[in-house]
Amino acid sequence: MRIATSQIFDANVATINRQWASLLHLQQQVATGRRVLTPADDPVAAARALEVQQSQSVLSQFRTNHDSARSALGLEEAQLSSAGDLLARIKELAVQGGNAALSAADRRALAMELRARYDELLGLANAADGQGIYLFAGFMGTTKPFGGTVDALNATPTSEIQYFGDDGVRKLQVAAARHLEISDPGRDVFVRIRNGNGYFVTQYAATNTGTGIIDSGYVTDPTTWNALPNKNFEIRFYVDSSVTPNVTYYDLVDTTANVSLLTGAPPTTPPPYTGLRVYEEGQPILLHNQGAEPPFDLGGYVVITGQPANNDLFTLSPASHQSVFKTLAKLIKALEDSTATNDAARAAFANDLGFALRDLAQAEENILRVRAAIGARLSELDSLSETSADLQLQYQQTLSTLTDLDYAKAISDLTRKQTDLQAAQQSFVRISQLSLFDYLR
């Protein structure tokens, strides 16, 4: 077999080039700390590493969303915290307004401060974030959600604040299968608030002449109340002046069916007072029959203090929704219109003040409910962030297993390759010097 000198050179050059390439590859691995520099190094590990890196990228976006959601919820919670503090101050002013030592001018001064508090509360409800998106406008983030004035709210008994947003709840994806609510519509926070005790609303008749003051009432059995076919009732008072001292009776009337719950017959003005109950100031007026006939049970009771006059009446009607702005407007009107010229006027004012405090408590409870929901979401974000951190560590460990370099082995291979390259170079030098002419004498 004849071997040309060019073949020897080509073969040695090719061998040295391969050695150099292998050595350079090892040097790159040592420099980067990665075993897999190209898919050709380990196709299976490279494909798996790509999947893990994609998962890391998605996880990184979720963690960015966590921060965004936490920021949005934190801003909303701060506004609601301020609203809660403001409602607490409003309640203090309402209680102060009930002080019998205050004059009408003093109460009007309190009403002036309450007007300022109304504007402050409206400003909180119309709060926006740093990008100009209104927090409580639902999906209509660029529309100011609330508009109205105290005087407009008191224009008619049923007038309400204007809400220009919608009921949309903005969400942000914080996990593969979780879209977290990062806003609450203003209607749910400030408008859709149950009045009364949440089940029924107590009210006095404008024609009352006595000093009776009714509280908000209590529902001891919500199931029973909710199952009632009719939910409009009156407590009618009658004074028997034929005896000394006078005895005050009351009747419970289902106004929808026009029947006395105590007698089972259509209500009539006594005497006789047969079947009616004797009124005892400050004692619960039980809204059930206590085992007597005819049977009825409304599932609750009310308490009336003071002394109702003959034909005074109080009503119980189903609870509805009333905005916190309407509640505040009613309170302001009660303070501004307070004259307390006689016992009946003082009782009416006391009733209005009690109703305002009752509805303010409902508004406070509703805001606390929303804040509790925000707290639950923030807690969920903390849990998701912890889970994300654990996943990130797991992904890093998986990538390390797939692509990281075994330095001990790599350095050993690098040393061996250097030795191989040196041997190849030296042998090539020796072989390249061989010639037939060296053997001719």
CA distances from 394 to 11, 48, 65, 89, 401 (A): 48, 14, 20, 51, 11
Q: Which two tokens stand for residue 378?
A: 């923030």
- Is the domain of 159 the same as that of 277? no
Tokens coding 132: 């100009």
Token duo for residue 145: 């959600």
Residue 351 lies in a domain: no
Tokens in use for 235?
């407590």
pLDDT at 335: 94
Residue 387 CA to residue 206 CA, distance in Å, equals 61
Q: Are residues 276 and 376 in the same domain?
A: no
pLDDT of residue 400: 66
pTM of the entire predicted model: 0.82
Whether residue 272 is found in the same domain as residue 154: no
385 and 426 housed in the same domain = no
Last residue of a domain, one of 296, 319, 342: 319
Banded pLDDT at 238 (limits 50, 70, 90): very high
Residue-wise pLDDT for 312-368, tens only, equals 999 999 999 999 999 999 999 999 988 767 889 999 999 999 999 999 999 999 999
Domain shared by 128 and 110, yes or no: yes
Q: Is 5 exposed, middle or buried (0-12, 13-18, 19+ CB in 10 A)?
A: exposed
Is 121 within the bounds of a domain? Answer: yes
Residue 227 is given by DSSP the state T
Residue 338: count of CB within 10 angstroms of its CB = 24
Residues 300 and 418 in one domain: no
Band of the pLDDT at 379, cuts 50, 70, 90? very high
Are 287 and 300 in contact by the 8 Å Cβ rule? The answer is yes
Among 168-182, 218-232, 243-257, 419-433, the range scoring the smallest mean pLDDT is 419-433
pLDDT of the residue at 330: 93
**Lowest-pLDDT range of 82-91, 166-175, 389-398:** 389-398
- Kindly tell me if the per-residue pLDDT of 18 is higher than 80: no
pLDDT beyond 90 at 213: yes
Judge if 234 and 291 occupy the same domain.
yes
Alpha carbon distance 135, 430 (integer Å): 84
pLDDT at 219: 96
pLDDT the model gives residue 287: 94
Closest CA to 121 of 72, 73, 87: 87
Burial of 318 (0-12, 13-18, 19+ CB in 10 A): middle
Identify whether residues 190 and 211 lie together within a single domain: no
Q: What is the mean pLDDT of residues 232-255?
A: 95
39 in any annotated domain: no
Domain end point (choices 319, 334, 367) = 319
Backbone angles phi, psi at 360, to 5 degrees: -65, -40
Q: What is the dihedral of CA 415, 420, 422, 424, to 10 degrees?
A: -170
Which pLDDT value is given to residue 26? Answer: 61
Instruction: State whether 218 and 255 are in the same domain.
Output: yes
The owner of tokens 């004012």 is 349
Neighbours of 102 (CB within 10 A): 17
Of 61 and 8, more confident: 61
105 lies in a domain?
yes
Share of the chain above pLDDT 90, in %: 64
Residue 271 banded pLDDT, cuts 50, 70, 90? very high
Could you tell me which residues are beta bridge partners of residue 78? none
pLDDT of residue 359: 96
> How far is it, in rounded angstroms, from Cα 218 to Cα 379?
34
21 found inside a domain? yes
pLDDT given for residue 90 in this prediction: 96
CA–CA separation, 215 vs 202, rounded Å?
7
Contact 170, 140 (CB under 8 A): no
**For the chain, how many structural domains are there in total?**
3
Domain that holds residue 268: 201-319
**Do 380 and 294 belong to one domain?**
no
* pLDDT above 80 (res 91): yes
Q: For residues 273 and 297, state if they share a domain.
A: yes
Residue that wins the pLDDT comparison between 22 and 288: 288
The percent of residues above 70 in pLDDT, for the chain, comes to 80
- The pLDDT tens digits of the residues spanning 168-188 come to 999 999 998 899 999 999 999
CA distance 379 to 383: 6
In a domain, 168, yes or no: yes
400 in any annotated domain: no
Same domain, 185 and 56: yes
Give domain status of residue 254, yes or no.
yes
Residue 179, domain CATH = 1.20.1330.10
Name the more confident of 114 and 36. 114
258 CB-near residues (< 8 Å, 6+ apart): 266, 267
Predicted confidence (pLDDT) at residue 122 exceeds the cutoff of 80: yes
The interaxial angle of helices 5-32 and 407-432, nearest 10 deg, is 160
Q: Which residue has the tokens 């921060």?
A: 67
